[in-house]
Amino acid sequence: MPNPSPSIEAFIDALPKVELHVHLVGSASVPTVLELARRHPDGPVPVAEDALRDFYEFRDFPHFAKVYDAVSSLVRTPEDVGTLVLGVARDLAVQNVRYVELTVTPYTHRRAGMPMPAITEALDIAAREARERFGVRVAYIFDIPGEFGADAARGTLDHALGHPPEELVGFGLGGIEQMRPPHRDAFRDAFAAARAAGLRSLPHAGEMTGPETIWEALDGLGAERIGHGTSCLDDPRLVARLREARVPLEVCPTSNVRTGQVAALASHPLPRMLDEGLFVTLNSDDPPMFDTTLTGEYRAAAEVFGLGRDALASLARNAVIASSMDRAARDAVIADIDALV
């Protein structure tokens, strides 16, 4: 990870932050994954640290997805779910992250044999404990693994409406974009029902496919925020739509490099997205798997893209504004950002 100047580095460390795009399984630190792997030694994940780090060297996005699924297969009990939530809260607290919207894919945990009420109870207990122990408020986004199609859409919706965690704020769509079924009605229907129940529409789109996926997220799924969205730059009309509507984009630079969507950080489209006046937030996606942190993403923005204090603070404010925090909580974090600047 690049090394900004000491003054900028200290500023980034002190900057109050909000994380909007990080996955429960992908947030698991190496020690946490090793704990799970040793807890379930029959699983496909190495139990030695050096072997696990080699396991995290990704050839491309499909290979990353395969590794991610292997780690996800270790999440078999409510205790495992709680271990993951508390692990990410602990890791974020030391980065001065005040609030996180943690993406959970409950469909995969149910396929592993956990019933809905047990998953929800584990998420509720862990969110309360994260706030008490680490001072981090945890909210949840329930995410459809898109490649599983209509069954996953219905199953995720049933869980979100029938057994929602107390801190459930959003409904998402992830997985390998190219493997989403061409028949979109199941996703559209699920998102319509989720929005009607008061959940925000927060799908991934435009990470590994073109602008058409972002258009579908906006017009078919009613997206309020877009996960990644980097391919929007290929369509000037879409850029204008996103800019005029102030649709937040959850940009994850290191993730895009590590999964082969971008050749190198220096060629990442983030600077151009900012130049286009798009509403950008910085995020870490699956930080231990990509050898990054949210703080590391801010440091890279300073070192690689040349962003100064005001620009970094603006990105931090954007994340607060785009979050699902209540107005008083948002105002408090923004006031702390302004005081630091």
What are the catalytic residues?
207
Half-sphere exposure of 28 (CA within 13 A, CB side): 30
Compute CA 340 distance to the chain's CA centroid, rounded to the nearest angstrom. 26
Element (H, E) at 158: helix 149-162
CA neighbor of 94 nearest in space, from 145, 133, 140: 133
Q: Which residues of 85-96 are buried (b: 16+ CB within 10 A; e: fewer)?
A: bbbbbebbbebb
Q: What would the 3-class secondary structure string for 86-126 be? A: HHHHHHHHCCCEEEEEEEECHHHHHHCCCCHHHHHHHHHHH
Q: What is the DSSP letter of 260?
A: T
Q: Please name which of 248, 262, 314, 320 lies closest in space to residue 290, comparing C-alpha atoms.
A: 262
Question: Between the CA of residue 319 and those of 12, 16, 71, what are the distances in Å?
Answer: 15, 10, 28
Give the largest Cα separation in the chain, rounded: 52
Residue type (1 letter), 202: L
The β-bridge relationship of strands 17-23 and 137-145 is unpaired
Here the tokens at position 164 are: 């929602």
Q: For residue 3, count other CB atoms closer than 10 A to its CB.
A: 10
Residue 279 and residue 246 in contact, taking contact as beta carbons nearer than 8 Å: yes
Instruction: Measure the CA–CA gap between 220 and 134, rounded to whole angstroms.
Output: 38
